[in-house]
């Protein structure tokens, strides 16, 4: 079992399988001039499978695949099949923009993958296409509905973006009237590859809640898991739920159970910090398994208590883009 220096069990790995993406969401990366990693610096599929096995043998029982857009990797299903075969891995999930997942939905279902997070910042086509800078709205919407109707546990992630999609918040909550989905609103973080910097946000989780509460009366607060990053609610008689994720306010650090590995092997113990080590070179060396286990233990043994503490240590962290960190 992996236990950090603040006595928190680390059992959740967010594994980025690529830094590439077919969208250009304006809060995540600049329109052009993005410094993608060289292909040789990305994990091969065989390495991703081996790395996951090592991490599961160390006590990780939940893996979320992320990116960049995970499904731009044409060999992604090889990894899903491998993960589905790993004993001790109880929860396999993916975060996707839902543009490319369509052809894989049936196989994902047959592998027993249940949890799919779809990033969707607008229900309105024009707003969606302005934010993502691509015209993929119909495909995304069709795939989203297919995922819901096939019975996946779908969570929609929407970032509240001042001046861009605030009028989308209520229609997104309304989706929960008709569909059994969880719509979660995230605070914007300044991880956008340097295209915009800010130290405060208008739309924090409290402001988002007040905005929703003005429109709906019968909001019930739900009990959430201790390690959950979202505060969850339900509107009486609606099928789905909605949640707020204080990703900028960081109220959840005390129960953080997660570790991130980027597509180039950077090990990130906190979103608000710099990578602590790179695992890719180790994975390509002799006795790799033993070396990786030792390094992971050492890294987990020196975590900051909160994102604020971590941010103090690593000035300049906000130049990162989410496409390399994985969200």
Interface with ligand SAM (CB under 6 A): 21, 27-28, 66-67, 69, 95-97, 119, 157, 159, 186, 188-189, 191-192, 247, 322-323, 326-327
Provide the token pair at 207.
């402001």
Cβ distance to ligand SAM smaller for residue 302 or 308:
308
- 23 lies in the site for ligand SF4, by CB under 6 A: yes
Shortest Å, Cβ 23 to ligand SF4 = 4
- Distance (Å, rounded) from C-alpha 280 to C-alpha 238? 46
Q: Specify the length of the chain in residues.
A: 327
Provide the token pair at 233.
């609610």
189 binds, among ligand SAM, ligand SF4, none (CB under 5 to 8 A by kind): ligand SAM
Backbone φ, ψ for residue 285 (5° rounding): -105, 175
Provide the 8-state DSSP code for 217.
Answer: S
Cβ distance to ligand SAM smaller for residue 31 or 237:
31
Do 120 and 175 contact (CB within 8 A), yes or no?
Answer: no
Shortest Å, Cβ 288 to ligand SAM = 27
Shortest Å, Cβ 158 to ligand SAM = 8
Residues 71-110 close enough to bind ligand SF4 by CB under 6 A: 97
Site string for ligand SF4, 295-324 (x = CB under 6 A): ---------------------------xx-
- 117 lies in the site for ligand SF4, by CB under 6 A: no
Q: What is the CA radius of gyration of the chain?
A: 19
Helix (H, G, I), strand (E, B) or coil at 141: helix
Q: Token match 């610096």: residue?
A: 41
205 binds, among ligand SAM, ligand SF4, none (CB under 5 to 8 A by kind): none
- 130 lies in the site for ligand SF4, by CB under 6 A: no
Shortest Å, Cβ 316 to ligand SF4 = 20
- Distance (Å, rounded) from C-alpha 86 to C-alpha 109? 17
193 binds, among ligand SAM, ligand SF4, none (CB under 5 to 8 A by kind): none
For 272-279, the CB contacts below 8 A with 24+ separation are 272/307, 272/308, 272/310, 272/311, 272/314, 272/317, 273/304, 273/307, 273/310, 273/311, 273/313, 273/314, 273/317, 274/314, 274/317, 276/302, 279/51
Shortest Å, Cβ 66 to ligand SF4 = 8
Cβ distance to ligand SF4 smaller for residue 37 or 222:
37
- Distance (Å, rounded) from C-alpha 243 to C-alpha 79? 30
Shortest Å, Cβ 18 to ligand SF4 = 9
Shortest Å, Cβ 68 to ligand SAM = 6
Provide the token pair at 153.
């546990």
Residues in binding contact with ligand SF4, number by CB under 6 A: 13
- Distance (Å, rounded) from C-alpha 97 to C-alpha 157? 10
Q: Which residues contact 18 (CB under 8 A, 6 or more apart)?
A: 42, 67, 68, 69, 70, 72, 73, 263
- 68 lies in the site for ligand SF4, by CB under 6 A: yes
CA end-to-end distance (rounded Å), the chain: 24
Shortest Å, Cβ 176 to ligand SAM = 18
Cβ distance to ligand SF4 smaller for residue 24 or 295:
24
**Given candidates 29, 172, 244, 300, which one binds ligand SF4 under the rule CB under 6 A?**
29
Among the listed ranges 51-59, 61-69, 230-238, 240-248, the one in contact with ligand SF4 (CB under 6 A) is 61-69
Cα–Cα nearest to 135, from 143, 144, 125: 125
Provide the token pair at 73.
């990797």
Which residues of this protein are in contact with ligand SF4, per CB under 6 A? 21, 23-25, 28-29, 67-69, 97, 119, 322-323
């Amino acid at each position: 079992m992996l236990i950090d220096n603040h006595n928190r069990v680390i059992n959740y790995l967010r594994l980025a399988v690529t830094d590439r993406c077919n969208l250009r969401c304006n809060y995540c990366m600049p329109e052009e001039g993005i410094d993608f990693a060289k292909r040789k610096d990305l994990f091969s599929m065989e390495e991703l499978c081996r790395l996951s096995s090592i991490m599961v043998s160390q006590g990780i029982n939940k893996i979320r695949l992320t990116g960049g857009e995970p499904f731009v990797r044409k060999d992604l299903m090889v990894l899903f099949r491998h993960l589905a075969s790993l004993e001790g891995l109880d929860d396999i999930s993916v975060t996707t923009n839902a543009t490319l997942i369509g052809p894989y939905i049936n196989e994902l279902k047959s592998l027993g993958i249940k949890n799919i997070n779809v990033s969707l910042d607008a229900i309105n086509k024009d707003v969606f296409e302005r934010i993502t800078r691509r015209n993929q709205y119909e495909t995304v919407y069709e795939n989203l509905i297919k995922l819901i109707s096939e019975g996946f546990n779908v969570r929609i992630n929407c970032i509240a973006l001042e001046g861009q999609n605030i009028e989308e918040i209520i229609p997104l909550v309304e989706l929960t009237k008709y569909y059994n989905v969880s719509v979660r609103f995230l605070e914007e973080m300044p991880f956008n590859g340097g295209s915009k910097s800010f130290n405060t946000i208008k739309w924090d989780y409290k402001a988002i809640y007040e905005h929703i509460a003005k429109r709906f009366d019968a909001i019930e607060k739900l009990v959430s898991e201790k390690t959950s990053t979202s505060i969850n609610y339900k509107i009486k008689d609606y099928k789905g739920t909605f949640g707020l994720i204080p990703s900028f306010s960081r109220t959840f650090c005390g129960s953080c159970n997660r570790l991130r590995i980027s597509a180039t092997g950077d090990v990130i113990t906190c979103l608000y910090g710099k990578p602590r080590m790179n695992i890719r070179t180790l994975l390509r060396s002799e006795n790799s398994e033993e070396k990786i286990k030792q390094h992971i233990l050492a890294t987990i043994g020196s975590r900051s208590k909160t994102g604020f503490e971590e941010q103090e240590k690593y000035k300049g962290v906000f130049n990162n883009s989410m496409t390399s960190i994985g969200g």
